Amino acid sequence: MILPRIDIDLRKIAHNVQQLKKLYGSKGINIIGVTKVVGGNPIIADVLVKNGIEILADSRISNIIKMRKAGIRAQYLLLRIPALSEAEEVIIHTHISLNSELAVLKKLSEYASRNHIVHKVVLMVELGDLREGIMPSEINTHVKEVLNLEGLALVGIGTNLACFGGISPDAHKMNELSSIVERLEEKFKITLAMVSGGNSANYNWFTSSKDAGRINSLRLGESIFLGREALCRKPIPGLFTDIFTLMAEVIEAKIKPSQPYGEVYQNANGDVPNFKNKGLMNRAVLAIGIQDIIVSGIVPKQNVAILGSSSDHIVIDNTRASLKVGDAVAFDLNYIALLRAFSTPHITKNTIDIYECASIL
Ligand SMILES: *Cc1c(COP(=O)(O)O)cnc(C)c1O
């Protein structure tokens, strides 16, 4: 198979989904499967749906279109608050969207009415992370307006923390969200069916709370695919953290000096590098680079060390592994490296079938 390539163990994804559903389900929380980190890969989305995920969420409409075209049947939720310019696409291709701007909601309403569709809306509340969300003091006026917009159904309230400002979705923040929901329900005589408390960073709050209050929904990507919570990036007990493996090929392996020689200026990244002289070194060049992957987000599984990278190459210290041309190096990936790997066509996506895996085990 052509390298570089990312191996994807579908059986482990199925396991993580089942475990997370059981865990969060024990306190009444439903899981929305977030597919953006795998670029809306339909084979992976299919595993989520077959293991009981009813709502698939992505930040990009193009990923949602890809999954729908592939026949993956689910409710599709748009994670990134819609741009005014994409309002029509949101109505046509998605069932639910997260929102914080009245101008956009009015456009969504217009297109929904025109298409005789009822589009579901979740209003996002700002609780301190300072990315998307309506300030709590302004939520009443927004709800009032949305309830009067034709073609839109206000189905819930949500918040997003730990993404921009690194703010913890702790008990204090989640209680605040629950009280906002209760205040709104009372004031407007409505029921908010979905209270979407956050993402993979909500794990610590969840495990340390007796009950989840009004929170009944979380949008999970990292926990499903990397088996980790997203505040400290600790593994979640019982989950696989090694679902994805990146494989890159050695295209040169030679003994060379360890220190570049000649006059030192900027390299391809605009840095002036500073390498220590460690004498002669077994070095290897891999056919993968910054164009394909976030190099700081990958960790070799073999005994090699990354020395540096440019647009199409990674150079490694090959002293211990003694890899030869044609050998492959395996890497673990973090969330952003995975995100990048799935958004380039230059990395082959190798899904290892559930039945193939079963026969290996
Ligand atoms: C990406 C994203 C998520 C999923 O976050 P994970 O940490 O991968 O679980 C949830 N909500 C929103 C709004 C997002 O953009």
Domains and CATH numbers, the chain: 9-226 (3.20.20.10), 244-360 (2.40.37)
The residue whose CA is least distant from atom 8 of ligand 1 is: 221
Question: Measured in angstroms, how far is the CA atom of residue 231 from the centroid of ligand 1?
Answer: 12
Residue to mutate, 98, 131, 199, 336, ligand 1, most ligand atoms under 8 Å from C-beta: 199
Give the pLDDT of the chain (361 residues) as one tens digit per residue: 799 999 999 999 999 999 999 999 999 999 999 999 999 999 999 999 999 999 999 999 999 999 999 999 999 999 999 999 999 999 999 999 999 999 999 999 999 999 999 999 999 999 999 999 999 999 999 999 999 999 999 999 999 999 999 999 999 999 999 999 999 999 999 999 999 999 999 999 999 999 999 999 999 999 999 999 999 999 999 999 999 999 999 999 999 999 999 999 999 889 999 999 999 999 999 999 999 999 999 999 999 999 999 999 999 999 999 999 999 999 999 999 999 999 999 999 999 975 554 444 3
**Burial track 153-192 (b if 16+ CB lie within 10 A, e otherwise):** ebbbbbbbbbeeeebbbbeebbebbbebbeebeeeeeeeb
The per-residue pLDDT for 360 is 43
The per-residue pLDDT for 55 is 98
Q: Which two tokens stand for residue 253?
A: 């392996």
Question: Measured in angstroms, how far is the CA atom of residue 221 from the centroid of ligand 1?
Answer: 6
Residues 6 or more apart whose Cβ sits within 8 Å of residue 92: 111, 115
Question: Measured in angstroms, how far is the CA atom of residue 2 from the centroid of ligand 1?
Answer: 31
Q: Which atom of ligand 1 is nearest to the CA of 335?
A: 8
Catalytic residues: 36
The per-residue pLDDT for 267 is 92
Element of type H or E holding 142: helix 139-147
Quote the CA–CA distance of 315 and 139 in Å, as a whole number.
52
The per-residue pLDDT for 1 is 78
The residue whose CA is least distant from atom 7 of ligand 1 is: 200
Can you name the residues that pair with 157 across neighbouring β-strands?
123, 195
Rounded to 10°, the helix 61-69/42-50 angle is 70
